[in-house]
Amino acid sequence: METSSRSSLMLRRMPLFDGLADERLAWIAERCTWRTVPAGRHVVSRHEDEGGVYFIAAGSVRATMYAVSGRQVTFRDVGEGELFGDLAALDGRPRSVDVTTLADSVVAHLDRAGFLILLDEEPAVSRRIMLRLVGLVRQLSERVIELSTTSVPQRIHAELLRLAREAGVSANEATLDPAPPHADLAAQISTNREQVTRELSALTRQGLLRKAGKALVVTDVERLAGLVDAARGG
């Protein structure tokens, strides 16, 4: 009972479950299989037939896929309080991506039957899942346009701006700590590490970036945003 209560409290922090009764949260917590997964470990693999949904109670994961060429493509990072696996849970088809932990994580797996019961019996949760899927479609649409119409340097600028705003901007600067690995940046924007390294070096020479130990400092966020807007025709 103590474990169930702790699990319910972890689920309570998730926006998806906002407003649910304690009894429903307890039902979800008890139906879930809970795992603690070290950083760098696979949680699910592409083409797996298992169709449940995963809630991230702590930590973060990354969804990726490998192209025929062997290049890794990163779709998105998912953090604490979020979920993944809902596509397979909804349509019953195999997984479409690999999911790996970025940090030590606690994940709760709800089987497909339980997830569908939850959607049937909790309209608020169903609406939130629908809005989440709409958001994913919009993000993917924007990404297709970005990959189709912008150059590699422009995509690097946009990704750095996203990371800067996510890290927090103060006095027109943002510190990315630790600095994102070049290979990870390349996977995010569908290019190779060498091109990322060249562009980051160019931005450093221009004074837009500065190394600070293991961190990377964006020294002029407004100027970087101007480059991104210009590329988008803004």
Q: 124-156, pLDDT tens digit by residue?
A: 999 999 999 999 999 888 888 877 888 999 999
- What is d(CA 146, CA 160) in angstroms, rounded to the nearest whole number? 14
The residue with greater pLDDT, 28 or 49, is: 28
Residues 91 and 207 in one domain: no
- In the prediction, which pLDDT does 182 show? 93
Task: Note the pLDDT of residue 233.
Answer: 67
pLDDT at 1 > cutoff 50: no
| Mean pLDDT score, 48-71 | 87
Q: How many CA atoms lie within 13 A of 217 on its CB side?
A: 11
Q: Please tell me the least confidently modeled range out of 64-68, 97-101, 172-176, 226-230.
A: 64-68
Q: What is the pLDDT of residue 234?
A: 55
> Which of 129, 163, 196 marks a domain boundary?
129
Per-residue pLDDT band for 6 (boundaries 50, 70, 90) equals low
Same domain, 82 and 159: no
Look at residue 135 and tell me if it is in a domain: no
pLDDT digits (tens, 9 = 90+) for 22-43: 999 999 999 999 999 999 999 9
Q: What is the mean pLDDT of the chain?
A: 90
Confidence tier at 2 by pLDDT (50, 70, 90): very low
| Boundary (domain end) residue, out of 97, 129, 161 | 129
For residue 75, tell me if it sits in a domain: yes
Q: What is the structure's pLDDT at 49?
A: 85
Residue 167 structural domain: 152-231
| Whether residue 4 has pLDDT greater than 60 | no
Mean pLDDT confidence for 71-89:
90
Which residue has better confidence, 234 or 185? 185
Tokens encoding 157: 């600028």
Q: What pLDDT was estimated at residue 5? A: 53
Give the CATH number, domain containing residue 226. 1.10.10.10
Predicted pLDDT of residue 123: 97
- CA atoms 197, 199, 202, 206: torsion sign: negative
Helices (H), the chain: 2-12, 22-31, 86-91, 112-121, 123-149, 152-167, 182-189, 193-205, 221-231
Shared-domain flag, residues 103 and 7: yes
Residue at 147 is within a domain: no
Q: What is the pLDDT of residue 71?
A: 73
For residues 125 and 205, state if they share a domain. no
Q: How many domains is the chain built from?
A: 2
Name the percent of the chain lying above pLDDT 70: 95
Q: Are residues 44 and 87 in the same domain?
A: yes
Cα–Cα distance measured from residue 81 to residue 141, given in angstroms and rounded to the nearest whole number? 24
Rounded to an integer, the average pLDDT of 217-223 is: 96
Is 83 a residue whose pLDDT tops 70?
Answer: yes
CATH number at residue 68: 2.60.120.10
